[in-house]
Amino acid sequence: MSKVSAAAVRDIVNQIVAASNEKQRKFTETIELQIGLKNYDPQRDKRFSGTIKLPNVPRPNLSVCVLGDAFHCDQAKAAGMEFQSVEDLKKLNKNKKLIKKLAKKYDAFLASEALIKQIPRLLGPGLHKVGKFPTAVSHADPLSAKADEIRATIKFQLKKVLCLGVAVGHVKMTEDQLTANIMLAINFLVSLLKKNWQNVKSLYLKSTMGKPHRLF
């Protein structure tokens, strides 16, 4: 049984968005869910780390580059997406500086299924160090949908302090979208905790510049 109601989430979401709209900012504030844990010992309890796929894209500005075979390069071009072909990657000649430049230029990569096996040979560990090894995409997956899937997938991991922060949306999203994301994130994360709600000390929601609002 969830300890948090969608109504309570909606209420706070509205407060956060209203507060954000009061001030003109040069950027769109992110909304973050902060989970404080209890009865959890990071020295010996099971590692708490993984990814959540949210129903509504929380980070629309994440730049994605397609490392594509001929089919996907054409598709990327038509969709206005950035891409690199096998030939483009071969031209890098495994030069560490150039690969590092490519790795830094984009937030994430997609790679055609046929191409992804060549990545280690073409680029070595160049994308590994920055945590941007590509996600595979097949000819059956529409490219822009797959890119949005990446933009909707958030990594979560517990740090030394027993608090976990997860980006769940931004202030320009609708109340429905934010509520759906937040409810899913809470229920999914709690389901992965050994003692579920007994491991949760507190839940807060806040926008980048706003004050934290307690949910639980």
Partner 1 sequence: MIQVDANPDLLPQFQPVRAIDFGFQDEYVLEVATNSQYAIASASDQLIRLYDLSTLQLATTLKSQEKTINKIKVYNDQYLLSASADGTLIRWDLRTAQPVQTFRHDKPITAFDVNCNDTMVVMGTGDFDLYGCPDILFYDTRQTQLLSRFEESHNDDVTEIKCHPHLPSHLITSSADGLVNYYDVTDFDEQEALISVVNAESAVQKAGFFGPDCEYVYSLTGNETFLLHTLEGDLICNYGDVRQLDSSIGYAIDCSYDMETQRFYLITGNIEGDVQLLHVNVGHVQHCQTLKAPGGHSDIVRAFHWSHRTQSILTGGEDGRMCAWQANL
Which residues make up the interface to partner 1 (CB under 8 A)? 43-44, 46-51, 94, 96, 116-117, 119-121, 124-126, 128-131, 133-136, 153, 155, 157, 159-160, 191-192, 194-195
φ, ψ of residue 142 in degrees (nearest 5)? -65, 130
Shortest distance, position 179 Cβ to partner 1, whole Å = 22
Nearest to 67 by CA among 153, 158, 135: 135
Q: Is the Cβ of residue 19 or residue 98 nearer to partner 1 in the bound state?
A: 98
Give the E-state strand segments of the chain in sequence order.
30-37, 49-53, 64-68, 82-85, 108-112, 135-137, 153-157, 163-170, 200-207, 213-214
Q: Is the Cβ of residue 52 or residue 182 nearer to partner 1 in the bound state?
A: 52
Shortest distance, position 159 Cβ to partner 1, whole Å = 5
Q: Is the Cβ of residue 73 or residue 115 nearer to partner 1 in the bound state?
A: 115
3-state secondary structure of 182: helix
**Is 196:190 a contact under the CB 8 Å cutoff?**
yes
Q: Is the Cβ of residue 11 or residue 113 nearer to partner 1 in the bound state?
A: 113
Single-letter residue type at 190: V
Shortest distance, position 6 Cβ to partner 1, whole Å = 23
- The tally of CA atoms less than 13 A away on the side-chain side of residue 45 is 16
Shortest distance, position 111 Cβ to partner 1, whole Å = 9
List the structure tokens of 141.
């997956």
How many other β-carbons are positioned within 10 Å of the β-carbon of residue 56? 19
Shortest distance, position 154 Cβ to partner 1, whole Å = 11
Q: Is the Cβ of residue 14 or residue 95 nearer to partner 1 in the bound state?
A: 95
